[in-house]
Chain A
Amino acid sequence: DVKVTQSSRYLVKRTGEKVFLECVQDMDHENMFWYRQDPGLGLRLIYFSYDVKMKEKGDIPEGYSVSREKKERFSLILESASTNQTSMYLCASSPLSGSSYNEQFFGPGTRLTVL
């Protein structure tokens, strides 16, 4: 069965801390995504990776960076957390388009609170 896991379901951090959110998929997918979800705004793409060590900015990359050293793992990094980064963070993966028509598989999410 398809599986995307995220390292934490709930996380509380302080302003200025460096925060790592980890995502692992076991489907050998090429693409991995990080979204943030806020009420009334839906899902907004932060970063996207289509291969190891490759990344592309999404719609709202400011204040975030990512790392993909292995195909199955995609990390989201908040270099210096701020209160406006309090949100639900969702990771997703998908095979290359053309083989599965962009269907994305989602992890359960990490609810991050920055105090």
Chain B
Amino acid sequence: AQSVTQPDIHITVSEGASLELRCNYSYGATPYLFWYVQSPGQGLQLLLKYFSGDTLVQGIKGFEAEFKRSQSSFNLRKPSVHWSDAAEYFCAGANFGNEKLTFGTGTRLTIIP
């Protein structure tokens, strides 16, 4: 079955430190992959997406993600986090032609001064 897994429920990092959030997928073919962010009390906002081509994808707010087929991963990174990055982050995937996304369970990010 198609699935997206986020192994980390909660991550705490210091402001200014680097960040990596993990996402693993299980699809028969290369899926479309997305990272969304949800600030407290808000809906989801798209950070970045991968469809094909360059495996390093740049997104908004200084985030990037790297698609690694050999590891079935699509990890989200940021070189230096800001307090405003505290939020919940969701990885999602879909097959081409499938209108529905499958979401991971989310990773909550806490930033400490």
Q: Give CA–CA (A24, B85) in the complex, Å.
A: 28
Q: Is B105 at the interface (CB under 8 A from chain A)?
A: yes
The answer on a CB contact under 8 Å between A97 and B99 is yes
Give the size of the chain A interface in residues (CB under 8 angstroms).
Answer: 28
Q: Would A43 and B90 count as touching, CB distance under 8 A?
A: yes
A48 touches B103 (CB 8 A): no
For the complex, count residues of B whose C-beta is within 8 A of A. Answer: 25
Verify if B100 is at the interface (C-beta below 8 Å from A): yes
A101/B43 contact (C-beta < 8 A), A48-B100, A94-B99 known: no
Residues of B within 8 A of A105 (CB): 46
Count of A-B residue pairs with CB < 8 Å: 61
Check if A61 is an interface residue, CB within 8 A of chain B.
Answer: no
Min CB–CB distance B2 → chain A (angstroms)? 12
Is A52 at the interface (CB under 8 A from chain B)? Answer: no
A48 to B90, CA, bound (A): 20
- 9-residue interface stretch from A13-21, A64-72, A75-83, A106-114: A106-114
Q: Are A97 and B97 in contact (CB under 8 A)?
A: yes
A-facing residues in B8-63 (Cβ within 8 Å)? 9, 32, 34, 36, 41-46, 49, 51
Cross-interface CB contact of A104 among B96, B101, B104, B105, cutoff 8 Å: B101
Chain B residues, Cβ within 8 Å of A106: 36, 43-45
Question: Which A residues are closer than 8 A to B by beta carbons?
Answer: 4, 31, 33, 35, 40-45, 48, 50, 58, 90, 92, 94, 96-98, 101-109
A-B contacts, 9 of them at CB < 8 A, read A31-B99, A35-B103, A40-B9, A45-B100, A90-B43, A98-B96, A107-B43, A108-B41, A109-B42
